[in-house]
Amino acid sequence: MSPSMSFALHPDEERGDHHQYHRGVKYLCEKGITKVPAKYILPVIERPNTGELNGNFSNDHDLRLPVIDFAELQGSNRVQALQSLSRACEEYGFFQLINHGISRETITSMVEEGRKFFELPFEKRSKYMSKDMFSPVRYGTSFNQNKDRVFCWRDFLKLNCHPLSEMLPFWPSSPSELREAAVNYSKETKYLYMMLVKAILESLGVVENNRSCNEKDSCLKEFEDGSQIIVVNCYPSCPEPDLTLGMLPHSDYGFLTLLLQDELVKGLQIHHRGKWVTVEPIPNSFVVNVGDHLEIFSNGRYKSVLHRVLVNPAKSRISIASLHSLPFSSTIRPSPKLVNEDNPKRYKDTDFASFMEYITTCEHKSKNFLESRKLTT
């Protein structure tokens, strides 16, 4: 029996356009599938455990990412904390942030309301399906469901958060507490992001010290007015997790991503020193990663690193990413302070429109967008 024949779908759903897969993985699971349909089966070379076939076999060991203590960064140990931050962004492109100051209640409510959203009947969730990347709310599946040849084992809810007061009325009104939870979460993660931006600019030597750059300074104004998108990722348990991925290898397009991991179910892997390694979640922390825009801004000093998501045979997993960048209308370029004769400009100027054009015309694979922005010397 072919994998796609392994569960019964209503004849209306067995349409040549693979209509049913656009309803998402949760929907398929609710139908009681026991095998992964062909639409989700990756070519052997791209599967999670392909050994040394493609030279990037999974490591048995979990990776403890560098840990940055936010309290130290904001306190008397700032100089040392900035050095650790800088090393983490150069060597890993990732770090775990502890003592971040966001209340447990804000985090728990966001996770719980996000989870409840995916438990709504499909008809309620599907009201928010949209192809418009700028929509205030977007429910969908895979990575780019209009382009992906093979689908990822993931459904998502994306909430555009900027400007908050204009976006909020469009967000889902059910579950009833979702809007309030997401507003609190977006405000608190934005504050944390701004504090991290200050630290990153300082660690790069773009501003001299903490005091020379506060919210009113023009150097931060563009970041303050920047884009923020909250993505609730839902990865249902998968009957054959070796055949598929929750997310294919990708880098994040923005400046920084603040990622809340499921504390009980691992899944995030980063590509580190030629191997895929699993990130060990630390309770009550954020995984923070450098995005393409920060790699460009830092003229290549900080690295936007490939990551992917494994799925679990027994448990579903929720993660929440808060993606931050400059305004959609801004041009991203290497900071002039980081370009000189010894360190020439390594990336072309870029803008959000060229990224959008890229992802709507190509299958978004690996970090090709960033590669396309590199200047060859």
Q: One-letter amino acid identity for 73?
A: L
Nearer of residues 182 and 247 to ligand AKG, judged by Cβ: 247
Quick check: 81 binds ligand AKG (CB under 6 A)?
Answer: no
- Report long-range pairs for 334-340 (Cβ below 8 Å, ≥24 apart): 334/296, 334/297, 334/298, 334/299, 334/300, 335/204, 335/206, 335/297, 335/298, 335/299, 337/204, 337/205, 337/206, 338/204, 338/205, 338/206, 338/298, 338/299, 338/301, 339/299
Interface with ligand AKG (CB under 6 A), residue total 12
- Quote the least distance from Cβ 231 to ligand AKG, whole Å: 5
- Quote the least distance from Cβ 130 to ligand AKG, whole Å: 18
Quick check: 236 binds ligand AKG (CB under 6 A)?
Answer: no
Coil vs helix vs strand at 108: helix
Write out the DSSP string of 313-356.
SS--EEEEEEEE-S-TTPEE---GGG--SSS---B--EEHHHHH
Nearest one of 24, 23, 34, 39 to 238, comparing CA atoms: 34
- Quote the least distance from Cβ 261 to ligand AKG, whole Å: 6
Quick check: 307 binds ligand AKG (CB under 6 A)?
Answer: yes
- Quote the least distance from Cβ 230 to ligand AKG, whole Å: 10
- Quote the least distance from Cβ 259 to ligand AKG, whole Å: 6
Quick check: 249 binds ligand AKG (CB under 6 A)?
Answer: no
Nearer of residues 160 and 261 to ligand AKG, judged by Cβ: 261
Please state, in angstroms and rounded to a whole number, the distance separating the CA atoms of residues 284 and 263. 8
Binders of ligand AKG in range 216-235 (CB under 6 A): 231, 233
Answer for which of 226, 249, 254, 267 binds ligand AKG (CB under 6 A) is 267
Q: Which residues lie near ligand AKG (CB under 6 A)?
A: 231, 233, 247, 252, 259, 261, 267-268, 307, 309, 319, 321
